[in-house]
Each structure stands twice: as structure tokens, then as C-alpha cells.
Amino acid sequence: MAEMRQETDYVKHHIQKVVSFFLAMRNFQEELSVKGHHFIYLKIGDNHNPQHLEKIIQKYVNETGADFFEYQLPDEYRLDEQLKDICKGLSIETEAVDSEHFYTTRYELKNFFSDKKQYLMESFYRTMRKKHDIMMINDQPDGGKWNFDHSNRKKWKGKPEIPHERGFRKDVSAVVREIENAGIETMGNIDAKSFSWPTTRADSLSALNYFCKNLLVHFGDYQDALHSEQKFLFHSRLSFAMNSKLISPKEVIDKVLDHYYEHPENIHISQVEGFVRQILGWREYMRGMYWALMPNYRHCNELDNQNKLPDFYWTGDTKMNCLKHAITQSLDEAYAHHIQRLMITGNYALLTQVHPDEIDAWYLGIYIDAIEWVEITNTRGMSQFADGGLIATKPYVSSANYINKMGNYCSECHYSHTKKLGENACPFNALYWNFLDEKREHFANNHRMNMMMSLLGKKNKQELTELKERAKKVIEHPELF
């Protein structure tokens, strides 16, 4: 196993992300060494570490006199290509084995949709439920419905209480020093004496247990909620543990279902279905879409967005309260929950027409769970509509109205969420109408946009001109807002 500059430097990562990956790798090596497995382990600061995958494999194939090279299929296209190339250069036999860390194989989704017009997540999810017999009763969905999405949209108003996060509170100062000494450039903040991400299997299982006992009961209801004082609400924070393969999605779903079937009187099925859908549905769907659409997906920019990402994405220094909270939290915790990513930072970037390369690099760096297969599909596809509607059937854009409906950011903001024009009008409002107007031709044939486009059509000309002027100012001078 090797900690490599190749991996720390392909994008600027959050410091907590680098620490978590190194610790997860080191702990994995330690746990398996105790069981008698043999490792060559290269730390980032080791003098003899070549820091590059090809050089490392060649070096150790030669030094050990290996006559066979076998690897597990990586999750990223970049590494997949690299490993294939490396194998071509080796004079020994090579073989790749599939990963067992997903419910699906790489091309299962592509095959599933091969004769269909649209890649609809819902139909894939239902098939997965049946195939894996998850929440099914005689071929029918448990609870009588496949999807409880409509009951998953509550605003959190201080109640029900959110039990304190358990946390692991480890001192990781030594690893942070190693990373600094190696000269790796990172972003974001870390409280190195009290680090709380799960980086062992035991940590991950305990986080999963904690979620089942304390948070699952309200997960579905508040999964779309936003709150200035609650960074995590009822979210599980299990994405890093799953993406780094400390635990598998099947383990997570099995445990959640066991807990539910043991306590059916306490937990409503809508909470459980909401959670299962995220993992069995969205997570597997994103992985399948990634392998179906790469490598071209990396360059898609259907809306032809060209603007720069505002500097405040790296500091949180803005008067817009929702963005200030979502960005500051991301810098402090390497975490934001789904609606913060989609409807705050993602929404603003799309409305201000930021180039997808810029926004991709930011998401790929800042979040603890960001690995390209799940980051790019969520960012370019779901959040930025850069694929023209393959993943999301309409762009996830909103004015202040939605943000105010789902949380309390607006009530504490410098701007007024109800005002469209004037110095203290919420910038999202002007940006929203400007975006619809500028991208009109892209949405002309999208029936899911009909209502929004017909409202745009009814806008008074003078008002639209003024909204567009304000939007122009916001886009050209983000530092003023």
C-alpha cells in the first residue's frame, strides 16, 4: 500500500480528507498485519517512496521477483486507465478482479438502460429493490409504496432534539505534521487534537450503530432540512466510511433494516425507505452512470457556462448567510449535507453560470467523501445540469423562496428573501430569473421546465431588465455581496 503524491496532488484536497485516507490505509494495514498478512507499506514521507503508482509497481515487481500482478478494479476512470497501461508495460502475467464493495458491477446500469430512452433513477432503484429483496413483501414494496419522498421534506424548527454526535476525538497531529513536512498543499481547517471522522472499521461500525439508534428515526423527515446551528441534522456521515471501503453499502443497509425490523413500533418505514433509497438507489445509480458515461462526461458543459468560481468559496467571506454557513462549515468539517451541496453552493454556482471544471475541482477537493465517480456525477450531472439532463431531468435551481422554506438561514441574513430588487434584495432572486432567461433555448423542449418558463414569459419587460442588471452585478462582482 502506498501513500502517493500522485494521489494527494491531482486536485487540492481538504486536509481532513488526506488525513482520513492515510489513517484508514494505515489502520487497515495494521489490522491485517496482526492477522498475519504481509505488506509493503510506503508512507508519504518515506525517502524510498517513488510517489507514483507506475514507478512503485515496477520497483516492487522487480525487487520481489513477482511472477504475477493482480489488482482490484479501481473506482475511478483515471486509475483504471493508468493500471491498464502499467499492466501493458509489465513482462509478467496480470489480472484485474472486480470490487465487491457495491451492489452492482460497473456496467450493470448501462446494460439495464441499454434499450431505454432515459436513465431514470426510480426505475433502476425499483429493480434493485426486487433483485436484492430489500424491503419487499411478495414482490410488492413494504409499506405499499416504493417511494416516500413526499414525506421527506420537513423544515427543522428546533425539535425533535438531535442527539449529540458521538464522535471519536482522536489526536491526529502527527499525521498532519507528516503531510505538512511533505509539502502537500491542502485546503480547509482541522482540529488535529480532536479529529472525529471514522478511520477504522470499528469506528465505522460504531458510527453506523449510533446512526441506527439515534438518528434513523427522523432521517427521512428532515433529510432536506437546512439549519444554521445544526451542521449534520439527522444525516449519517457514513459516506467516507463507505467510499473508502471501511464498510460496505450492504453492511449499512442490512444493519439499518435489522434495526428497523427489531423496532417497527418506533421507526416509520418512510425514514428507512428514505435512507435505503440514498444508498441502494442514488449511490449505485451514480456509480453506474459514471461508468456508462466516462470519459466524455468529464468535459460536458451543455449550458455553456464560462464564469469563474467566486473567491468566497475558499473563505466563506460573503454576506449571503446561506452560502456563508454552507462554505464555512465545509471548510471546517470537510462536510456539508446533500441539500447544502445541491441547493446552496451548487445552486449559486449554476445560477452564476460557473464553468463546470471550476465547480468540479472545488467539490472534488473539499469534501471528505469526494471521489470522482460519485463527485462528478453529482456535481456536473445532478447539480450543474452540464450533461443536459441525463442525470437530473431538470436543473436544480431555486430563488430564495426554497431556501427560506427549508431552513432558517434567511431569517438571519443581511438580505431580504422576499425582495427581488434593491440593495438588500436576495441575490438568488435576480440570479434565478436571469438564469432562466439566458438559458431559454436549452429548456425549450424540457416539459419539466414548462411551468418555470411560462412564469418567465409572463414577467413584465421592465422588471426583467432590472433583474438582469442586478444579476449581472452579482456575477461580475461577487466580492460586493
Ligand X SMILES: Cc1cc2nc3c(=O)[nH]c(=O)nc-3n(C[C@H](O)[C@H](O)[C@H](O)COP(=O)(O)OP(=O)(O)OC[C@H]3O[C@@H](n4cnc5c(N)ncnc54)[C@H](O)[C@@H]3O)c2cc1C
In whole angstroms, how close is the CB of 370 to ligand SF4 at the nearest point?
24
Residue pair 301/250 in contact (Cβ under 8 Å)? The answer is no
Report the partner that residue 320 touches, choosing among ligand X, ligand SF4, none (CB closer than 5 to 8 A by kind).
ligand SF4
Among 119, 297, 428, 433, binds ligand SF4 (CB under 6 A): 428
User: How far is it, in rounded angstroms, from Cα 392 to Cα 443?
Assistant: 13
**Stretch near ligand SF4 under the rule CB under 6 A, chosen from 180-188, 320-328, 364-372, 430-438:** 320-328
Residue 313 in contact with ligand SF4, rule: CB under 6 A: no
Report the partner that residue 428 touches, choosing among ligand SF4, ligand X, none (CB closer than 5 to 8 A by kind).
ligand SF4
Give 24: exposed, middle or buried? Use CB within 10 Å, 0-12, 13-18, 19+.
buried
Among 109, 162, 374, 474, binds ligand X (CB under 6 A): 374
Question: Residues of 371-405 as b/e, b for ≥16 C-beta within 10 angstroms?
Answer: bbbbbbbbbbbbbbbbbebbbbeebbbbbbebbbe
**Cell numbers standing for residue 411:** 431569517
Residue 403 in contact with ligand SF4, rule: CB under 6 A: yes
Report the partner that residue 235 touches, choosing among ligand X, ligand SF4, none (CB closer than 5 to 8 A by kind).
ligand X
Residue 282 in contact with ligand X, rule: CB under 6 A: yes
User: How far is it, in rounded angstroms, from Cα 381 to Cα 367?
Assistant: 17
Which residues, listed in sequence order, are joined to residue 195 by a DSSP beta bridge?
170
Contacts of 160 (CB under 8 A, 6+ apart): 218
Residues 330-359 that bind ligand X (CB under 6 A): 337-338, 341-342, 346
Residue 417 in contact with ligand SF4, rule: CB under 6 A: yes
Report the partner that residue 297 touches, choosing among ligand SF4, ligand X, none (CB closer than 5 to 8 A by kind).
none
Contacts of 63 (CB under 8 A, 6+ apart): none
Report the partner that residue 337 touches, choosing among ligand X, ligand SF4, none (CB closer than 5 to 8 A by kind).
ligand X
| Three-state DSSP class for residue 155 | coil
Among 4, 207, 256, 413, binds ligand SF4 (CB under 6 A): 413
Residue 295 preceded by cis peptide, ω within 30: yes
**Stretch near ligand X under the rule CB under 6 A, chosen from 109-117, 257-265, 291-299, 365-373:** 365-373
Nearer to ligand SF4, 76 or 466 (CB): 466
Residue 432 in contact with ligand SF4, rule: CB under 6 A: no
Nearer to ligand SF4, 132 or 419 (CB): 419
User: How far is it, in rounded angstroms, from Cα 192 to Cα 345?
Assistant: 26
Nearer to ligand X, 3 or 333 (CB): 333
Q: How many CA atoms lie within 13 A of 287 on its CB side?
A: 23
- DSSP classification of residue 460: -
Nearer to ligand X, 70 or 229 (CB): 229
324 phi and psi angles, rounded to 5 deg: -55, -45
Residue 439 in contact with ligand X, rule: CB under 6 A: no
DSSP string of 283-326, one letter each residue: IHHHHHHHHHHTTGGGG--TT---BPPPGGGGT---S-HHHHHH
| Three-state DSSP class for residue 109 | helix
Report the partner that residue 415 touches, choosing among ligand X, ligand SF4, none (CB closer than 5 to 8 A by kind).
ligand SF4
Report the partner that residue 56 touches, choosing among ligand X, ligand SF4, none (CB closer than 5 to 8 A by kind).
none
Residue 426 in contact with ligand SF4, rule: CB under 6 A: yes
DSSP string of 355-415, one letter each residue: -HHHHHHHHHHH-TT--HHHHHIIIIIIIT-TTSSSS-SS-----HHHHHHH-STGGG-SS
Residue 238 in contact with ligand X, rule: CB under 6 A: yes
Report the partner that residue 417 touches, choosing among ligand X, ligand SF4, none (CB closer than 5 to 8 A by kind).
ligand SF4
Nearer to ligand X, 344 or 430 (CB): 344
Among 86, 121, 267, 322, binds ligand SF4 (CB under 6 A): 322
DSSP string of 390-403, one letter each residue: SS-SS-----HHHH
Nearer to ligand SF4, 252 or 320 (CB): 320
How many residues line the site for ligand SF4 (CB under 6 A)? Answer: 13
Give the angle subtended at the CA of 420 by the CAs of 384 and 449, to the nearest 5°. Answer: 40
Among 246, 279, 331, 334, binds ligand X (CB under 6 A): 279
In whole angstroms, how close is the CB of 228 to ligand SF4 at the nearest point?
9
Residue 170 in contact with ligand SF4, rule: CB under 6 A: no
In whole angstroms, how close is the CB of 416 to ligand SF4 at the nearest point?
6
**Stretch near ligand X under the rule CB under 6 A, chosen from 136-144, 370-378, 408-416, 463-471:** 370-378
User: How far is it, in rounded angstroms, from Cα 338 to Cα 345?
Assistant: 10
User: How far is it, in rounded angstroms, from Cα 259 to Cα 272?
Assistant: 10
| Three-state DSSP class for residue 68 | strand
Tell me which residues touch ligand SF4 (CB under 6 A). Answer: 320-322, 400, 403-404, 409-410, 413, 415, 417, 426, 428
> Which residues here bind ligand X, judged by CB under 6 A?
223, 235-239, 242-243, 278-279, 282-283, 286, 337-338, 341-342, 346, 363, 367, 369-370, 374-375, 378-379, 382-383
